[in-house]
């Protein structure tokens, strides 16, 4: 991605080619820029790509425009006219991504001031708003060790008296982190709200504004002390939902309303433009007192999440066992199956002490391994049925249990035990989406 | 209009910006079709709000920007089959449509423009809601080039490909509504250098570029598919941007009217200086005059007051008569102020003293207003706005700003073209638009393959076309030369393409160049004829339903509104057979048998005249003469 001819990003240059003269500032190349092409920002604001082959290139001024990254800003804060102490921990992702129009560089930073620019009314609602930049990571790059860091940071804010904590997060793995935090942070005195954006905050159409505006409403009005995902409920900017962190999933690659509760209903909604709060789900963990708040922020990185598929190579399971994995969450077919050929590998793994939990790739519904032969055989082999847990929630739960509970039998027992409403024993007929049938 | 104006001496400089929809299979960044929805298309609606960042104003009218900042709701209609998640800003754009790129390259080549090596798509911020993303995607494809004109070569600055905006279908205080069908249709944008020196040259250049685009066979036709923007300046004036000239024929008029406006504004400036008006005398001292106006019988006033609005006025000392100065046909300086009030305050307009008494506001009330405002009716002027307080304040302060600028000269404005060629104020000219790279769309390398494919679409040069009109269409050189310069050339080419098998191109050219001009000289409005009307008439000739001589008669009957539609006009002139003619002649002879008997062989003229009045254009006159002769002989032989 280097520039040809020793040109550096930010240089003001003149390129003469076939009697055409182009003057502009050298922009950073993209992954798809051809090696012989330099991107120039012209005076009219347009970027154009010019091959420097057979061209006369002249640098008019070196380092004409400053284009470069900025250091992570640990903490910024701003005082408001309201009563709520709100903390935001920024981990990166689309919500904090901004393209600088001068340079085209992506700047994933977010300060308290910038947050206020996005949602100015926050100033009327908060007494103090602090923004802690923890990482600048795209969410697919997060690991269970990052979950630990986030959990610790959230705990610190809660212990220092925050009335609500927002975690700005990439949407791709937001539900994993939400589930992980739900297991790590217990007896919460306030909601912990994971917020993201499907359209980056530098766009006029960003969904982050509405999602962020819902946060102080939830922080001050919600009766629950749970980890929730706060995202659009509709493609219109009409309402935002607070989904239970262990029961939510990104169900669309790009829509604003991608996040949906599965096998459960959302905890609450905030309607716009009036910002009315409505509790939707009576089954929630109420806010606890600060004294009862606990944090156990460790996660095992020796847990795998794998999906069963026709013709699956059973050696995958053997490989994980050999690699020293402590737990495997299987995303089985239907009621919780893998092909018959793999049952032996599963049994060996269980005998080696690996904890194997079965979830379903249908996502909706509950596993039931007693209906078909292969299911029954898997139970006998030692597989734990994961009830109606989402594969991601089961993965975070197993990772958390293995890092915090020494006794393997207890881990096995807790896996089927409902800790933070990650298991819903009663499925109403309504909690299944009405698909569009033309 | 003063046709004696020497535009070259005035230092007229005009640049064109031409936007033309491309006729591609898919939209620019998704796979939706490029046809508009119709009234039967089912629609669903989505509501959004846009975030406006502090310094980004761009191409948005001030009142609209104000409303959006205050949280104006934007409603999008999604017509089924004409928009998908991409238009709705719910899915990232697909790769830039290669077909659109190819057409753009072909047109750029014909304009001798240099194609860039790699194309980068940008986001141009537009927050009026016409794009759910809040920006328009646009890319420079080529730079430089020229087009030759008899008054000199006109340079090309840039050629871009970009997405068309959504169609605004409704607007009220709290919301604006758009249909998403047009959003994303590819547009080519061609910007010329300000090398144009006369109003006529501007039209010729626009026509040439328009023709060149049409000759690719890959651009859309019909209303709203092409739009011209103009940049106009004169030496002592200011560079003014004029948006949305939809008809080519309007271009010279728009330019003449703009020059007229600038000259008049300079006159006003001189007059104000002569009167000794100072900027600090023009203040925004707003007075509530609701009680005075309430006593009038003005329906307009009472309609507004019933809404709970109030009347607010400002005085303009020493401005008597200035607001009534006509700056363009039927547009006074007061109309310009009204535009400002509308654009900034979102009010319906202003009432000013130079137009009163009017609207049921009688002289007595005018005198009372003068008195209340402590103004001299012989010397001063006032402006009234009826609205809510907040809008009225914004409207009147914009009026005051504009009036102050009259002392300086001509404000830099973006104006909108009206259908009559005059223009109205839209907004101040924006600074350089904020452009962000569109990071969701990869760049496209222009390689040999793409250039070769584009070469196939490259339009013919005018010289090549002239040759073809003579050699392949069989037109004579004179007619072909005339046609090449005529705005109806694209229509001619369409008609030849569609009817070429059926009728000779010569007849199509004659219809467009001779018959239509003839009808126009008779004072008929030939602009109301559509290409489809003409096609139907020519088709009828081709099908043998009417004689070719009947073409002007049919069109004339239609234009004179003697008939409901062109089909009926055709029926009036449908050919009759010799046998039908014979029956008709016999009937007429029978009806006039006394006269015929009396006149003997001299009855021919009488009968011929009567028959021709019924069948003119429906059968060859020679045949009529023969048949009349025969029937008369028949009659006389029986008679004797």
Q: Determine the distance in angstroms separating the CA of B220 from the nearest CA of chain A, rounded to an integer.
A: 26
Q: What is the predicted pLDDT for the residue at B546?
A: 86
* Shared-domain flag, residues B534 and B626: no
CA gap A420, A187 in Å, rounded:
10
B468: in domain: no
- Which tokens in the block code for residue B501? 């098998």
Q: What's the pLDDT score for residue B1? A: 46
CATH 2.30.30.520 fits A4-61, yes or no: yes
Same structural domain, B61 and B198: yes
Contact criterion met (CB < 8 Å) for B158 and A30? no
Q: How many other C-beta atoms lie within 10 A of the C-beta of residue B548?
A: 16
Give the one of B46, B122, B445 whose C-beta lies nearest to A46's C-beta: B122
pLDDT band at B51 (very low <50, low <70, confident <90, very high): confident
Model pLDDT, residue A18: 80
Round to whole Å and give the CA distance between A179 and A385.
18
Q: Which two tokens stand for residue B211?
A: 């023709």
Residue A67 has pLDDT above 70, yes or no: no
Q: Which residues numbered 229-248 in A keep a CB inside 8 Å of some CB on B?
A: 235-238
* Local confidence band at A152 (pLDDT 50, 70, 90 cut-offs): very high
| Residue A193 bridge partners (DSSP) | A166, A228
Residue A73 has pLDDT above 80, yes or no: no
B52 and B156 in a common domain: yes
Task: List the beta strands (DSSP E) in A98-163.
Answer: 98-99, 106-107, 126-133
Of the residues A11, A41, A91, A94, only one is catalytic, namely A94
Rounded Cα distance, A193 and A178, in Å: 9
Spell out where A91-176 has E strands.
98-99, 106-107, 126-133, 164-168
Residue pLDDT, tens place only, A135-147: 988 999 999 999 9
User: Minimal Cα distance from A38: which residue of B?
Assistant: B118
Instruction: For residues B25 and B131, state if they share a domain.
Output: yes
User: Of B572, B590, B622, which residue sits at a domain end?
Assistant: B572
Burial class (CB in 10 A: 0-12, 13-18, 19+), B303: exposed
Whole-model pTM: value is: 0.86
Chain A residues close to B143, C-beta within 8 Å: 20, 22, 48
Query: Residues B538, B605: one domain?
Result: no
Tell me, yes or no, whether B285 and B221 share the same domain.
no
3-state secondary structure of A396: helix
Residue B366 has pLDDT above 90, yes or no: yes
pLDDT at B393 exceeding the cut of 90: yes
Highest mean pLDDT among A48-52, A183-187, B505-509: A183-187
Is residue B96 within 8 Å of residue B444, measured between CB atoms? yes
Put residue B600 in one of left, alpha, beta given phi > 0 → left and psi -120 to 50 → alpha: left
Residue B422 lies inside a defined structural domain of this protein: no
Subunit contact B143:A48, Cβ cutoff 8 A: yes
Q: Is A5 left (phi over 0), alpha (psi -120 to 50) or beta?
A: left
Supply A24's token pair.
Answer: 């502009």
Domains A75-295 and A303-415 share a fold: yes
User: For residue A68, what pLDDT is reported?
Assistant: 57
pLDDT category at A95 given cuts 50, 70, 90 is confident
What's the token pair of residue A76? 């910024």
User: DSSP strand E in A196-326: where?
Assistant: 227-232, 239-244, 248-250, 259-261, 268-271, 276-279, 294-295, 303-307
> Is A250 designated active site?
yes
B271 is a domain residue: no
Kindly report, residue by residue over A409-438, the tens digit of the pLDDT. Answer: 999 999 999 999 999 999 999 999 989 998
Interchain contact A22–B (C-beta under 8 A):
yes
- Partner-chain contact B434 A37, CB within 8 Å: no
* B272 lies in some domain: no
Beta strands in B290-371 (DSSP E): 310-316, 326-328, 331-332, 351-352
Give the three-state DSSP class for B201.
helix
Considering the domain architecture, whether residues B374 and B514 belong to the same structural domain is answered as no
State the pLDDT confidence band at A103, using cuts at 50, 70 and 90.
low
The DSSP 8-state label assigned to residue B281 in this structure reads G
Cα gap B58→B244, rounded to integer Å: 17
Looking at chain B, how many residues does it have? 640
Contacts of B72 in chain A (CB under 8 A): none
User: What share of chain B in percent tops pLDDT 70?
Assistant: 97
pLDDT of B55 over the 60 cut = no
Higher pLDDT among residues B635 and B617, named by residue = B635
Beta pairing, strands B114-115 & A227-232? unpaired
Q: Would you place residue B634 in the very low, low, confident or very high pLDDT band (cuts 50, 70, 90)?
A: confident
Strand (E) or helix (H) holding B299: helix B299-306
Q: Enumerate the residues of chain A whose CB falls inside 8 A of the CB of residue B58.
A: none
Chain A segment 251-280 residues within 8 A of B by beta carbon are 253-256, 273
Average pLDDT over residues A235-249: 98
Confidence of residue B433 (pLDDT cuts 50, 70, 90): low
Of B47, B52, B114, the CB nearest to A18: B114
Q: Judge: domain A75-295, CATH 3.40.50.1170.
A: yes
Can you tell me the distance from the alpha carbon of B79 to that of B239, in angstroms, rounded to the nearest whole number? 40
Query: What is chain A's percent helix, strand, coil content, to nearest 5?
Result: 25, 25, 45
Angle between helices B489-499 and B199-214 (to 10 degrees): 20
**In chain A, domain spans:** 4-61, 75-295, 303-415
Has residue B93 got a pLDDT over 80? yes
CB B222 within 8 A of CB B175: no
pLDDT of residue A5: 65
Q: What is the pLDDT of residues B439-474, one digit of tens each?
A: 899 999 999 999 999 999 998 888 888 999 999 999
Domain ranges, residue B41: 7-252+433-437
On the question of pLDDT at B318 being above 80, the answer is yes
**Chain A interface mutation, best of B17, B29, B48, B141, highest count of A Cβ atoms under 10 Å:** B48
Confidence grade of residue A3 (pLDDT, cut at 50, 70, 90)? low
How confident is the model at residue A345, as a pLDDT? Answer: 97
Residue A322 annotated among the catalytic residues of the structure:
no
Nearest residue to A310 via CA among A339, A342, A334, A344: A339
Structure token pair of residue A415? 């896996």
Residues whose CB falls within 8 Å of the CB of residue B191, separated by 6 or more in sequence, listed in order: B15, B16, B17, B156, B157, B158, B159, B160
Residue from B88, B395, B387, B409 nearest B239 by CA: B409
Q: How many domains does chain B have?
A: 4
Minimum Cα–Cα distance from B141: chain A residue: A48
Helices (H) and strands (E) in chain B, counts: 23, 24
Of B223 and B319, more confident: B319
Instruction: Please say which residue of B406, B423, B456 terminates a domain.
Output: B406
Residues A237, A275: Cα–Cα separation, whole Å? 12
Instruction: Tell me, yes or no, whether B232 and B343 share the same domain.
Output: no
Query: Facing residues of A133 across strands?
Result: A90
Where do the H-state alpha helices sit in B377-418? Answer: 389-405
Clarify whether residues B551 and B601 are in a common domain: no
- Give A137 or B177, the one with higher predicted confidence: B177
Task: Report chain B's mean pLDDT, rounded to a whole number.
Answer: 91
Can you tell me whether residue B194 is helix, strand or coil? coil
C-alpha dihedral (B221, B223, B228, B234), degrees to nearest 10: 140
Q: Up-side HSE of residue B434: CA atoms within 13 Å toward CB?
A: 21
Assess whether A171 carries a catalytic annotation: yes
| CATH code, residues A303-415 | 3.40.50.40
Check CB contact under 8 Å for B53 and A204. Answer: yes
Closest to B95 (Cα-Cα) out of B327, B542, B443, B533:
B443
Residue B414: which H helix or E strand, with range?
Answer: strand B413-417
Q: What's the pLDDT at B566?
A: 87
CA–CA gap between residue B96 and residue A213 (Å, rounded): 35
d(CA B524, CA B553): 12
Distance between CA atoms of residues A132 and B10, nearest Å: 62
- How many Å apart are CA A168 and CA A133, to the nearest integer? 9
Q: What is the Cα–Cα distance from B87 to B137, expressed in whole angstroms? A: 12
In a shared domain, residues B203 and B300: no
**If you search the block for the tokens 């921990």, which residue do you land on?**
A89
Predicted local distance difference test score (pLDDT) of residue A19: 79
- Alpha-carbon gap, residue A366 to A21, rounded angstroms: 67
Q: How far is A160 from chain B (nearest CA, A)?
A: 33
Segment among A252-256, B274-278, B613-617 with least mean pLDDT: B613-617
Judge if B593 and B560 occupy the same domain: no
Res. B2: pLDDT tops 60? no
Handedness of CA A29, A32, A36, A39 (dihedral sign): negative
Residue B122 shares a structural domain with residue B17: yes
User: pLDDT, tens digit, for every residue of B409-431?
Assistant: 999 999 999 999 999 999 888 76
Q: Is the pLDDT of residue A70 over 70?
A: no
Structure tokens given for B409: 């000269």
Between CA A157 and CA A85 the distance in angstroms is: 10
Q: Name which of A87, A145, A155, A146 is nearest A296 in CA terms.
A: A155
pLDDT at residue B467 in the model: 93
| Cα distance from N-terminal residue to C-terminal residue, chain B | 70
State residue A1's pLDDT score. Answer: 46
């Amino acid at each position: 991605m280097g520039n040809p001819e020793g040109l550096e990003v930010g240089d003001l240059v003149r390129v003469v080619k076939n009697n055409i003269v182009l003057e502009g500032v050298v922009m950073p190349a993209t992954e798809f820029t051809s090696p012989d092409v330099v991107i120039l920002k012209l005076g009219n604001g347009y970027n154009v790509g010019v091959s420097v082959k057979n061209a006369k290139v002249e640098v008019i001024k070196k380092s004409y425009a400053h284009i470069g990254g900025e250091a992570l800003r640990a903490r910024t804060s701003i005082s408001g006219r309201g009563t709520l102490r709100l903390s935001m921990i920024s981990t990166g992702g689309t919500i904090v991504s901004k393209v600088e129009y001068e340079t085209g560089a992506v700047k994933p930073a977010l300060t308290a001031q910038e947050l206020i620019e996005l949602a100015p009314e926050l100033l009327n609602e908060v007494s103090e708003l602090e923004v802690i930049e923890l990482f600048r990571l795209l969410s697919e790059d997060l690991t269970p060790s990052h979950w630990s860091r986030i959990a610790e940071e959230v705990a610190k804010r809660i212990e220092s008296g925050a009335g609500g904590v927002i975690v700005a997060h990439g949407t791709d793995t937001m539900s994993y982190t939400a589930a992980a935090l739900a297991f790590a942070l217990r007896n919460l005195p306030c909601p912990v709200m994971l917020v993201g954006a499907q359209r980056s905050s530098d766009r006029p159409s960003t969904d982050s504004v509405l999602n962020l505006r819902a946060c102080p409403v939830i922080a001050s009005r919600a009766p629950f002390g749970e980890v929730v995902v706060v995202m659009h409920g509709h493609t219109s900017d009409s309402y935002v939902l607070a989904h239970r962190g262990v029961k939510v999933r990104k169900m669309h690659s790009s829509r604003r309303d991608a996040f949906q509760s599965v096998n459960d209903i959302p905890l609450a909604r905030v309607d716009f433009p009036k910002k009315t709060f409505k509790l939707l789900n009576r089954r929630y963990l109420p806010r606890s007192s600060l004294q009862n708040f606990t944090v156990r922020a460790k996660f095992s990185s020796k847990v795998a999440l794998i999906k069963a598929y026709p013709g699956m190579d059973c050696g995958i399971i053997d490989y994980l066992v050999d690699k020293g994995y402590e737990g495997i969450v299987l995303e089985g077919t239907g009621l919780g199956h893998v092909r018959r050929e793999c049952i032996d590998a599963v049994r060996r793994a269980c005998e080696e002490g690996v904890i194997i939990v079965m979830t379903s790739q249908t996502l909706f519904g509950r596993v039931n391994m007693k209906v078909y032969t292969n299911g029954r055989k898997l139970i006998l082999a030692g597989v734990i049925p994961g009830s109606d847990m989402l594969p991601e929630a089961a993965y975070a739960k197993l990772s958390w249990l293995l890092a915090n509970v020494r006794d393997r039998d207890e881990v096995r027992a807790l896996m089927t035990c409902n800790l933070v409403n990650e298991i819903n024993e009663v499925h109403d007929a309504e909690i299944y989406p009405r698909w569009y049938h033309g | 209009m003063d046709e004696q104006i020497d535009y070259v001496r005035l230092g007229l400089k005009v640049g064109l910006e031409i936007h033309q929809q491309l006729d591609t299979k898919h939209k620019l960044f998704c796979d939706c079709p490029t046809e508009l929805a119709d009234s039967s298309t089912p629609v669903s609606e989505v509501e959004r709000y846009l975030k406006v960042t502090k310094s980004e104003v761009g191409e948005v009218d001030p009142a609209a920007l104000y409303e959006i900042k205050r949280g104006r709701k934007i409603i999008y209609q999604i017509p089924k089959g004409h928009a998908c998640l991409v238009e709705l800003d719910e899915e990232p754009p697909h790769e830039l449509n290669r077909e659109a790129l190819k057409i753009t390259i072909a047109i750029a080549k014909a304009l001798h423009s240099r194609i860039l090596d790699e194309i980068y798509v940008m986001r141009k911020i537009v927050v009026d809601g016409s794009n759910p993303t809040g920006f328009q995607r646009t890319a420079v494809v080529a730079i430089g080039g020229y087009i030759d004109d008899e008054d000199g070569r006109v340079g090309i600055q840039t050629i871009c490909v970009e997405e068309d905006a959504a169609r605004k279908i409704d607007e009220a205080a709290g919301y604006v509504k758009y249909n998403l069908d047009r959003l994303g249709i590819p547009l080519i944008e061609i910007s010329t250098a300000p090398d144009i020196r006369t109003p006529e040259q501007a039209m010729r250049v626009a026509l040439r570029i328009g023709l060149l685009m049409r000759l690719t066979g890959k651009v859309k036709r019909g209303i709203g598919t092409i739009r011209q923007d103009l940049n106009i300046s004169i030496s002592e004036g200011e560079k003014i941007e004029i948006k949305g000239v939809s008809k080519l024929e309007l271009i010279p008029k728009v330019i003449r009217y703009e020059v007229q406006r600038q000259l008049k504004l300079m006159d006003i400036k001189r007059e104000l200086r002569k009167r000794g008006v100072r900027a600090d005398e023009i203040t925004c001292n707003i007075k509530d005059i609701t009680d005075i106006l309430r006593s009038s019988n003005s329906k307009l006033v009472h309609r507004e007051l019933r809404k709970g609005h109030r009347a607010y006025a400002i005085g303009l000392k020493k401005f008597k008569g200035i607001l009534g100065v006509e700056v363009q046909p039927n547009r006074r300086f007061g109309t310009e102020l009204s535009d400002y009030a509308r654009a900034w305050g979102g009010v319906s307009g202003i009432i000013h003293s130079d137009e009163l008494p009017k609207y049921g506001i009688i002289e007595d009330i005018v005198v009372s207003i003068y008195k209340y405002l402590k103004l001299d009716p012989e010397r001063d002027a006032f402006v009234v706005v009826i609205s809510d307080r907040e809008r009225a304040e914004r409207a009147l302060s914009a009026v005051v700003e504009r009036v102050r600028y009259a002392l300086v000269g001509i404000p830099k404005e973006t104006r909108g073209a009206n259908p009559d060629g005059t223009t109205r104020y839209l907004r101040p000219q924006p600074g350089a638009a904020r452009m962000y790279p569109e990071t969701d769309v990869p760049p496209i390398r222009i390689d040999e393959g793409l250039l070769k494919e584009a070469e196939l679409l490259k339009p013919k040069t005018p010289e090549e076309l002239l040759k073809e009109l003579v050699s392949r269409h069989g037109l004579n050189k004179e007619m072909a030369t005339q046609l090449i310069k005529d705005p109806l050339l694209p229509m001619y080419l369409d008609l030849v393409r569609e009817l070429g098998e059926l009728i000779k191109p010569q007849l199509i050219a004659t219809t467009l160049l001779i018959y239509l001009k003839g009808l126009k000289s008779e004072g008929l409005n030939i602009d109301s004829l559509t290409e489809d009307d003409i096609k139907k008439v020519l088709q009828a000739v081709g099908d043998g339903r009417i004689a070719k001589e009947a073409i002007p008669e049919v069109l004339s009957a239609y234009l004179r509104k003697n008939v409901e539609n062109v089909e009926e006009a055709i029926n009036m002139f449908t050919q009759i057979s010799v046998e039908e003619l014979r029956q008709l002649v016999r009937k007429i002879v029978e009806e006039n048998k006394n006269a015929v008997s009396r006149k003997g062989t001299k009855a021919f003229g009488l009968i011929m005249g009567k028959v021709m009045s019924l069948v003119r254009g429906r059968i060859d006159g020679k045949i009529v003469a023969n048949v009349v002769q025969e029937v008369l002989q028949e009659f006389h032989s029986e008679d004797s």
